[in-house]
């Protein structure tokens, strides 16, 4: 990738660098997922000591297994809905920083499994915050939600952090609930406003539609494209005119890490919700992104439109205003969406060509280094 920006400089107080992260104990939920795996690799490159807590990967293949990521962290299999197991795993690790990325992350799956969606995204978040209350070492908590937490009126204005929460589908509503309960726990148990509290900065992070190598989720645009293209088929698109805030997954992950550091160093001053979305000129319709991806894939790849089920509500327009993160945390886009697509195609093609775990690990680290300016660590794990 290219176009690393000037905001990532040594003068930036919340820069994502090993000087801060080396030796930090990080408890990361959802580390077996797509975005969690990328975050785990970046934390390893930064020298953090990480314990991951999550269910086994729910896709075959999975980036977590393809890169043998269990070998770079203290890997704990567990369900965030199991309050006792989650508390034991967190408290026994005594983390400095907690990043909660575990969730049921799919809109269409939430229609099929609404109870599981709410139990994971709402009660799982409550269980995580309650576990943090029981752990004196925790000094920074980041709850990862989504841009779909907003009550989306599909207006041509970008949502700001103080706009109303809401959701017309189970997934969006569950994430709105996660934001509301995060605010309630922050005010009730982690601030100076309550006699029940111990002051710990609790923040939340809202990102747009992310992509990147290693995502194999069902009913996501680029994973569906990869499955179709590798079979020599056309990608089927339901809503080609829908506009989304597309970005490579490392863009918001850089924001999560900046936010975690800001809360650790600056305390409750930074304890609130933040948007991490692309600039307006980076917004693309679904059809335009699919076209750009197909052109990079080659081999006659393309797509065709087929309307989806009318009863399944999908937003047509959703924009984020990330000015708060830019002003407060120094967060900026690391590259443009097309550089992200180049890297994504390269990752999937390597995996399709049966690259080894060591080769995919090297490629993952190289893309983190190219995009984020992260130094490459010495050595690697065994390939045996």
Nearest to 273 by CA among 147, 124, 127: 147
pLDDT in tens, 34-92: 999 999 999 999 999 999 999 999 999 999 999 999 999 999 999 999 999 999 999 99
Distance CA 219, CA 231 (A): 17
pLDDT at 315: 55
Express each pLDDT in 98-122 by its tens digit.
999 999 988 889 999 999 999 999 9
Q: What average pLDDT does range 321-333 have in this prediction? A: 94
How long is the chain? 384
Three-class secondary structure assignment of the chain: CCCCCCCCCCCCCCCCCHHHHCCCEEEEECCCCHHHHHHHHHHHHHCCEEEEEECCCCCCCCHHHHCCHHHHCEEEECCCCCHHHHHHHHHHHCCCEEEECCCCCCHHHHHHCHHHHHHHHHHHHHHHHHHHHCCCCCCEEEEECCHHHECCCCCCCCECCCCCECCCCHHHHHHHHHHHHHHHHHHHHCCCCCCCCCCCCEEEEEECCEECCCCCCCCCHHHHHHHHHHCCCCEEECCCCCEECCEECHHHHHHHHHHHHHHHHHHHHHCCEEEECCCHHHCEEHHHHHHHHHHHHCCCCCEEECCCCCCCCCCCECCECCHHHHHHHCCCCCCCHHHHHHHHHHHHHHHHCCCCHHHHHHHHHHHHHHHHCCCCCCCCCCCC
Give the mean model confidence (pLDDT) for residues 323-349.
94
pLDDT average, residue stretch 373-383: 49
Task: Give the number of other CB atoms < 10 A from CB of residue 189.
Answer: 19
**pLDDT band with cut points at 50, 70 and 90 for residue 280:** confident
Is the confidence at residue 11, as pLDDT, over 80?
no
Phi then psi dihedrals of residue 27, to 5 deg: -100, 115
DSSP β-bridge partners for residue 243: 285, 317
Answer yes or no: is pLDDT of 380 > 50.
Answer: no
The pLDDT confidence band at residue 302, using thresholds 50, 70 and 90, is: very high
Alpha carbon distance 64, 34 (integer Å): 7
What is the per-residue pLDDT for 12?
Answer: 65
Mean pLDDT on 118-132: 98
* Interval 354-369 mean pLDDT: 96
> What are 159-216's pLDDT values in tens digits?
999 999 999 999 999 999 999 999 999 999 998 776 666 899 999 999 988 999 999 9
Distances (CA, A) of 16 to 205, 210, 363, 366: 16, 20, 20, 16
Q: Tell me what percent of the residues of the chain surpass a pLDDT of 70.
A: 91
Query: So what's the pLDDT on residue 279?
Result: 83
The mean pLDDT value for 338-362 works out to: 96
Q: What is the mean pLDDT of residues 283-291?
A: 93
pLDDT at 69: 97
* Average pLDDT, integer, range 341-348: 97
Mean pLDDT, residues 139-168: 91
* Exposure string over 107-116, b if 16+ CB within 10 A, otherwise e: bbbbbeebee
**Looking at 250-259, 267-276, 365-374, which range is the least confident one?**
365-374
- Given a cut of 60, whether residue 8 has pLDDT beyond it is no
pLDDT range class, residue 1, cuts 50, 70, 90? very low
By the 8 A CB rule, do 296 and 304 touch?
Answer: no
Averaged confidence pLDDT in the chain? 90
Instruction: Look at residue 192 in the predicted model and tell me its pLDDT.
Output: 77
């Amino acid at each position: 990738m290219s176009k690393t920006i000037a905001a990532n400089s040594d003068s930036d107080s919340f820069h994502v660098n090993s000087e801060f992260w080396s030796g930090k104990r990080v408890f990361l939920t959802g580390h077996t997922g797509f975005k969690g795996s990328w975050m785990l690799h970046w934390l390893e490159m930064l020298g953090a000591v990480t314990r991951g807590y999550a269910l086994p990967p729910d896709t075959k293949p999975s980036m977590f297994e393809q890169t043998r990521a269990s070998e770079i962290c203290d890997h704990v299999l567990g369900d965030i809905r199991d309050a006792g197991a989650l508390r034991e795993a967190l408290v026994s690790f005594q983390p400095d920083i907690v990043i909660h990325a575990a969730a049921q992350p799919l809109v269409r799956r939430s229609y099929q499994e609404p109870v599981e969606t709410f139990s994971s995204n709402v009660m799982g978040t409550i269980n995580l915050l309650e576990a943090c209350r029981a752990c004196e070492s925790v000094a920074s908590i980041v709850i990862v939600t989504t841009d779909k937490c907003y009550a989306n009126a599909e207006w041509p204005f970008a949502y700001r952090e103080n706009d109303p929460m809401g959701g017309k589908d189970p997934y969006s509503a569950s994430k709105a609930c996660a934001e509301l309960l995060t605010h309630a726990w922050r005010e009730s148990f982690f601030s100076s406003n309550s006699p029940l509290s111990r002051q710990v900065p609790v923040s939340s992070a809202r990102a747009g539609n992310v992509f990147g190598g290693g995502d194999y989720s069902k009913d996501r645009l680029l994973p569906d494209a990869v499955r179709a293209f590798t079979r020599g088929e056309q990608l089927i698109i339901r809503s080609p005119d829908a506009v989304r805030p597309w970005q490579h997954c490392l863009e918001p992950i850089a924001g999560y890490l900046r936010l975690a550091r800001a809360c650790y160093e600056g305390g409750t001053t930074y304890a609130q919700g933040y948007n991490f979305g692309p600039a307006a000129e980076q917004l693309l319709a679904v059809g335009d992104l699919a076209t750009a991806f197909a052109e990079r894939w080659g081999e006659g790849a393309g797509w065709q439109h087929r309307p989806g089920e009318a009863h399944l509500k999908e937003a047509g327009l959703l924009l984020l205003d990330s000015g708060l993160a830019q002003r407060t945390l120094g967060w900026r886009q690391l590259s443009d969406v097309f550089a992200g697509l180049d890297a994504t195609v390269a990752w999937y093609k390597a995996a399709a060509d049966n690259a080894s775990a060591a080769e995919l690990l090297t490629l993952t680290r190289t893309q983190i280094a190219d995009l984020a300016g992260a130094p490459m660590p010495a050595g690697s794990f065994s390939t045996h």
